[in-house]
Amino acid sequence: MPRDYAKRKPAPKKKPARATSKPKGRTNQARTQQQSVGLPWLRIVIVVGLLAAFGYGLSQISGSADHVAETEPTSASPAPVESADNLPDKPQERWSFIEELETKQVEVDVPDAPEQTRPYLMQCGSFRIESQADELKAKIAFQGLSSEVRRAEGSKGVWYKVVLGPYKTKRLAETDRHTLQRASIRGCKIWYW
């Protein structure tokens, strides 16, 4: 059977259940006042008793250290105390590495980075219409990078490619690609020339 939720009346609110056993003659307020009066005195008595016990324990411990030191048996043969006159002479330093290191020279062979015969290029777009390629070139120029539009003829017709580079290392090309990605220019590919 379908229900009409739009014209439905809210359910009647339930009244809270009453406690059936109430002590007569006392109210809740009178009971809490009576309990709160007795409870702090009990806590105060317990705290004072603990402080007194702690103080007594400290007074018993304070003199016991001297008493233990007096009752310890002394060793049969005490160690002889050496005076400053009986000490051996200070040994002379025998380190020779300080003088050796001052005149030492270390030769390190650092290989030179190999020359890249093939530089890296980055292509950011390929379009059929030259105006679209020029538009991407302008967006790249706003990021402070220079690019060029190259015309290429293939088996499927004429294409206009937007190319950046050449770069000496791939790391330099990656840096420029990240700059373009931050500017929402995506799809740039790095390749050897």
Instruction: Give pTM, 2 decimals.
Output: 0.41
Q: Do residues 193 and 165 lie in contact, with contact meaning Cβ atoms separated by under 8 Å? A: yes
Query: E-assigned strands of the chain?
Result: 120-127, 148-154, 157-167, 189-192
Which of 38-52, 130-144, 149-163 is predicted least confidently?
38-52
Q: Which has the closest alpha carbon to 31: 40, 19, 43, 22?
A: 22
- First-residue to last-residue Cα distance in the chain: 76
Over residues 160-181, the mean pLDDT reads: 95
- Render pLDDT for 94-120 as a digit per residue (tens, 0 to 9): 788 877 888 888 888 888 876 656 799
CA 87 to chain centre: 55
Average model confidence (pLDDT) across the chain: 81
Query: What is the residue-wise DSSP string for 7-47?
Result: SPPPPPPPPPPPPS---SS--HHHHHHHHHHHHHHHHHHHH
Over residues 57-72, the mean pLDDT reads: 70
For 120-192, CATH number out of 3.30.70.20, 3.20.20.100, 2.40.50.140, 3.30.70.1070 equals 3.30.70.1070
- What does the domain layout of the chain look like in residue ranges? 120-192
Structure token pair of residue 154 = 């293939």
At residue 138 the predicted structure's pLDDT band, cuts being 50, 70 and 90, is very high
